[in-house]
Structure 1
Amino acid sequence: MTTVEQAEKLILAEAKDFGMETIPFEQALDRALAEDIKADRDLPPFNRVTMDGIAINYKAIQSNISVFKIKTTQAAGDEPVETGRVDECIEIMTGAALSPSLDTVIQYENIRINNGEATILNTEIKKGQNLHLKGADKREGDIVVCSGQIITPAVISVAASVGKRDLMVRKLPRVVVVSSGDELVDIGVEPSPVQIRKSNSYTIQAVLAQHYLRAELAHIPDDPRITREKIGNCLQNYDVILMTGGISMGKFDFIPKALEEMQVKTVFHKVSQRPGKPFWFGKHESGVLVFAFPGNPVATFMCLHRYFLPWLRASQRLGAKPPVYAVLDKDFTFKPELQYFLQVTLKFSEEGKLLAIPVEGNGSGDFANLADTDAFMELPMERSEFKRGEVFRVWPFNNI
């Protein structure tokens, strides 16, 4: 049976570049940046005042001048005002551009203004204080944001500040989420006593939407002919097929045979893990990838976070996320020789440690438990006893 580590390696080996596209920067949030953003001018573009007060030439301080005649008041956005005498000052506001004839700003708290004159109170003055000098952050042409990262609100801010109206981003794969089984009905339909409403497809779609990926939905009934037709259609129109259910060994699990008939090569089937042991992964000769998750909701949810999202990140050339580790907050026992993904809630202790509190449900079909948990803790298969205080990797699916 394929191990978790082997499955991860085989999946990441199929990471694929789907190309690039240019979109307006306002629409680029959470996309993968595919170009360096460069400064179109020095940052800041002028000597920028950082405190409200008066601007002087420091030579006045060296000459023991402490009273200045206020020439005028300059607001942010005004053209810089020069002074002709060392005992003159400009009353100036935060964000204003400072004239080359001035080099120091004294905030209002350290001066007294009366009859058009500003008097420095008893305070130490340093040359260049309260100024953000031109080009101190970046020079024209310098890289201000490197490619290969998620576009955050901060990146949007930088793009706007350098006039980068359009951004080049990585294209996302075309993804379809396929459910199967006659026991599933739409959410608006009253199920019979032996039916259940579809939930896995909407769960997957919602998770992918968090990553700016808009997946379409499809459903396959328990019919071998329709199964082949729908899978054939998906192979022609999508880059990735995410399937949920129908991959076990049941009499009505027609999907494995249909995939084989459609020349989808099995990369692996069954992983030594719980939940999600029946997980199937394959590749069509055209390059289309098929992730066939087990039908149990918790198994689907875990496999999506443990395998598909890292593949998506690799395909977007983002690099692996730094792993997150937590301290097990309670003794736990799991005896089968399988890698176990324990549902946990996460919290920080007063000492700043990330604690994982086990939440034991009723198996991989207990999807209601997911609403009360934050992550899966990955426990190694070589052991069955896990002690409070031990540290293991966690795969968060809620913000911590």
Structure 2
Amino acid sequence: MINYTQALERLLAQIGPLPRENCVLGDAVGRVLAKAVTSSIALPSFDHAAMDGYALNAATPWAAGSEHAIYGSHAAGDALHEASQHEVGHGACEIMTGASLPEGLDAVIAVERTECLATGPTGMPTRIRLRDALRAGDNVRYAGSDVAPGAQVLSAGTRIGSAQIMLLAALGVATVPVVTRPRVAIICTGKELQSDPTHPLGAERIHNSNGPYLVAALGAANARVLACEAVDDTAVTYAGALQRAIEAGADLVVSTGAVSMGRYDFVPDTLRRFHAQLLFHKVAIRPGKPLLAARLANGPLVIALPGTPMAVAAGLRFIVMPALREMSGQGGEPAMHALLDTPQQPKAGLRHFLRASLYQHSDGQMHVTVTEQQQPFRIRPFADADVWVVLPEDAGDCPAGTRVQVVGVEPGESPRLRVAH
């Protein structure tokens, strides 16, 4: 048996970055950038008004109460003719938000900070008085003030969300280079598993919850799930599913169950018959100690998880997810910490993963309350949890107030944070 850090090092040493491909921007949400993106244009691309009002030349500041003739009007998207450019360069121009500044004008005063003194036949103001002083640069958005041409705007390894889509669209980016989505096959073992929930549950059968969980979690983590099979407790059916995963081109096979030391735990022997390189079998973690990882000759990685639900959830979060991040070039996750409200006495030599609720107290500090029911068969507390609390092998007794590491339950998403009452 090896410790968690050793297991992760051995696993990640087997993984290289996946190839990249081009992806149209509309399909890029959730994908991971394969290379940095630099801007080919300035953003904004021209100097323009930040609000509706009047543009003036304020190289010499104007005092409140100064009066100005209006020589034109300019809206966003309008072309400004040379004649009007000359006229407004000697006075003021009515201007709308987003409109380019006429040549010679360098400041904008909001319409509500002016007083209309006269209007023309169409009702358009022809003369105004300033209620505020005005200096050059007031209420102007300058070209390149957000993004300069040639600037790097997103780095490789960035997961693209809606905010990144907005930025890339504003820069006129149509396609982005992304890492190919990891291809994952799922194999759930156990003759007791019933995969079709529309049928009445048979005697001594259980609904297959591990399969749907893995499909959902891996899909949310940007993996492409090739198949999710449930097989009985025989090496033959497992080997058949494994062969199909290889032929489908899987980068990773995740299986559940049949990985311990019992008579029906056939996964280790089956992998040997596939001439797999065993990376480790049994890791000093709770839950999930019997976990196994192997590399198939000229084939995918295999991560075999115990079948108990929380062993599957912990193995997915703390073994499978780091492997997927490495394949996508994302590296490790940033560490988060909170203050423990419920004392813990973890067993020495094991890394414990505990389901918990995360709270923000009135002092702004994050606190975490470990759920009482930590048995690995219990699913309900996991569904209610916000985070995993990670207690290392040498944690010792952890009284209330201990600063502990917390990891979000959902891969790639910030944990839910409750407000303490």
Question: Could you say which TM-score interval applies, normalised by the shorter chain?
Answer: over 0.9
User: 1:196 maps to which residue?
Assistant: 206
Q: Quick one: distance in 2 between partners of 1:10 and 1:343? A: 26
User: 1:219 maps to which residue?
Assistant: 230
Q: Quick one: distance in 2 between partners of 1:125 and 1:235? A: 70
Q: Quick one: distance in 1 between partners of 2:73 and 2:325? A: 53
- Within the alignment, does 1:296 sit opposite 2:308 as a pair? yes
Q: TM-score, normalized by length of structure 1? A: 0.94
Per-residue Cα deviation, 1:242-295 (whole angstroms, up to 9, x for no partner): 001111112122222111101112110111111001111111111410000110
User: 1:66 maps to which residue?
Assistant: 66
Q: Contact between 2:59 and 2:106, CA under 8 Å: does it hold in 1?
A: no
Q: Quick one: distance in 2 between partners of 1:17 and 1:40? A: 27
User: Paired residues, what number?
Assistant: 400
Q: Contact between 1:272 and 1:338, CA under 8 Å: does it hold in 2?
A: yes
Which segment is superposed worse, 59-68 or 134-143?
A: 59-68
The Cα shift of 1:156 comes to 0.8
User: 1:244 maps to which residue?
Assistant: 256
Q: Quick one: distance in 2 between partners of 1:178 and 1:369? A: 25
Question: Structure 1 residues 60, 228: closer, same or farther in 2, change over 3 A?
Answer: closer
- Within the alignment, does 1:257 sit opposite 2:257 as a pair? no
User: 1:155 maps to which residue?
Assistant: 164
Q: Contact between 1:328 and 1:391, CA under 8 Å: does it hold in 2?
A: yes
Q: From 314, 319, 323, give the equivalent of 1:307.
A: 319
Q: Quick one: distance in 2 between partners of 1:283 and 1:3? A: 19
Q: Quick one: distance in 2 between partners of 1:86 and 1:286? A: 72
Q: Contact between 1:60 and 1:66, CA under 8 Å: does it hold in 2?
A: no
Q: Quick one: distance in 2 between partners of 1:257 and 1:307? A: 22
- Within the alignment, does 1:361 sit opposite 2:373 as a pair? yes
Q: Contact between 1:15 and 1:312, CA under 8 Å: does it hold in 2?
A: no
Gaps of 5+ in 2: 120-125, 417-421
Q: From 124, 128, 140, give the equivalent of 2:149.
A: 140
Q: Quick one: distance in 1 between partners of 2:292 and 2:70? A: 78
User: 1:228 maps to which residue?
Assistant: 239
Which segment is superposed worse, 69-78 or 224-233?
A: 224-233
Q: Quick one: distance in 2 between partners of 1:274 and 1:59? A: 70
The Cα shift of 1:359 comes to 0.3
The Cα shift of 1:57 comes to 1.1
Q: Contact between 1:69 and 1:87, CA under 8 Å: does it hold in 2?
A: no
Q: Quick one: distance in 1 between partners of 2:61 and 2:266? A: 87
Which segment is superposed worse, 344-353 or 107-116?
A: 107-116
SS at match of 1:311: helix
SS at match of 2:224: coil
- Percent identical pairs in the alignment equals 28
Q: Contact between 2:246 and 2:300, CA under 8 Å: does it hold in 1?
A: yes
Q: Quick one: distance in 2 between partners of 1:307 and 1:225? A: 26
SS at match of 1:386: coil
Mapping of residues 338-357 of structure 1, within 5 Å: 338-357=350-369
Per-residue Cα deviation, 1:179-229 (whole angstroms, up to 9, x for no partner): 011011112332233111101011011111212223120122122322222
Gaps of 5+ in 1: none
Q: Quick one: distance in 2 between partners of 1:230 and 1:347? A: 43
Amino acid across the alignment from 2:383 = A
User: 1:13 maps to which residue?
Assistant: 13
Q: Quick one: distance in 2 between partners of 1:12 and 1:57? A: 61
Q: Quick one: distance in 2 between partners of 1:91 and 1:193? A: 80
Amino acid across the alignment from 1:272 = A
The Cα shift of 1:159 comes to 1.4
Amino acid across the alignment from 1:68 = H
RMSD: 2.0
Q: Quick one: distance in 1 between partners of 2:71 and 2:189? A: 79
